[in-house]
Chain A
Amino acid sequence: MIASIVDTDALLQVVWVSLIAGVGVPACYALAILGSTRALEFGRNGRPVEAVFFVIVGVLGLAVVIASIVFGIVTLVND
């Protein structure tokens, strides 16, 4: 009954996109904060290998955030 009224595909698309983007993007941003904070700490303590690792974590996290936002807006505009 409900399935015949609602556009189920569209509704499910909203659900899965929201879950992936709404959780994934903030989590990646948190990784960027983790990476930058830890990199500074390890850098100050003279542990360059760990510092570089966390720089990579931070940069990757930020890159995913920026790429996701750009992808989302481009998808909306081109629809």
Chain B
Amino acid sequence: MGSEIIVVIVVATALIFDFTNGFHDTANVVATSISTRAMPPRIAVGYAAVLNFVGAFISLAVAATVAQDVVEIQPNSIGLLAVFAGLVGAIAWNLITWYFGLPSSSSHALIGGMVGAVFVAEGADAVFFKEGILGKVMIPALVAPLLAFLVGGIAILFLYRIVGRLRPGPVTSGFRFGQVISGGLLALAHGTNDAQKTMGVITLALVANGTIATDNFHVPDWVVISSATAIALGTYVGGWRIIKTMGSRIHKMDSAQGFAAQGAGATVILAASHVGFPLSTTHTISGAVIGSGAAKRLSAVRWGVAGNIVMAWILTLPMAALIGALTYLVTRVFGTGAVGPIVVSTACLVAAVVLYTRRSQQAGVPPGVPPAVESS
């Protein structure tokens, strides 16, 4: 009975993580559309939410990577507690970066949290540092934003070359319409890659509980549907501070740049999802946005803001790992039963409500109301 309660808590925590992922990450996906006025904020967020939901059903390759190739979970209560602690580490880091208005990476937070918790719970042998973390997470995570930077930069040069001599009116209208498509693809890509990470973690918990046999890996349908729903809801509720950071503070975009950036981000994420790489969508779209700005004019990019983002990227994995490890140790103080997860998840929930309320009061707007987004 105790382990069943922990599974319920882990699934609920994973879905909350998925919700915060949508809340935190997908704002990045719609920022370019809002910044270039291709879509009004509420429409853009609603549109992204729907396509996030749809995207979650496209593939399961990333879920398999997260569940099988990063850490090895033993089918016992220790493994279950480690999954729980890893999730809490990821959620805590997401909330902290959201509170300070810094783009981070939910994916790296999730991987970091899991690695930290499993490392403390099961030892170093249970963490696949080389082929898993380095080969399937870290190196693709390094390549993806650079690739998106390159693709976004080359694409915008082609676009300006092709339409450069046309009147600006039809060109702007054309690319704004194009952004409806490219923004949709980016939301689809986000749902495909990010919702699968939650599916992978829930599946990992089911393996730890013995519900799924280790030699019969599969993602149950209810896991896919609930993960898709959670990320879509998170997207809809939105993260307006992050929208402002990504959409206008990196650089002011025209509609062609927005289109190029979204196209570059979507293709890199979808291609990576196809081969099962759990990418950071935040890193990738940031790389594409900066690439499309730098190709036009280096001075158009606010490099200070880009530097802050890079710093958050660097900190995410170790900080989430640290929080995950600490959470596991705190949870174990209460034994291996359900008491630890109940106490820790209640404390986290209270902390999250406090942070959210304080953030909303500081912004001077009620939760869910978008601020005016600066545009070019």
Contacts and interface: CB of A to CB of B under 8 A. Distances in A.
Contacts of A77: 58-59
Task: Give the one of A27, A29, A40, A72 with max B CB within 10 A.
Answer: A29
Contacts of A79: 59, 61, 274
Contact of B174 (A33, A69, A73): A33
A63 interface: no
B267 A21 contact: yes
B58 A76 contact: yes
B263 A26 contact: yes
Chain B interface, >50% SS class: helix
A29 B256 CA distance: 11
Chain A interface, >50% SS class: helix
A67 interface: no
Interface residues of A, number: 36
- Please tell me the size bucket of the interface on B: 35 or more
Contact of B264 (A15, A18, A29, A38): A18
Given A5-B135, A14-B271, A77-B59, A37 B158 contact: no
B50 interface: no
B167 A37 contact: yes
B271 A26 contact: no
Contacts of B260: 26
Interface of B: 58-59, 61, 130-131, 134-136, 139-140, 143-144, 147-148, 150-152, 154-155, 158-159, 162-163, 166-167, 170-171, 174-175, 178, 181-182, 185, 188, 192, 256, 259-260, 263-264, 266-268, 270-277
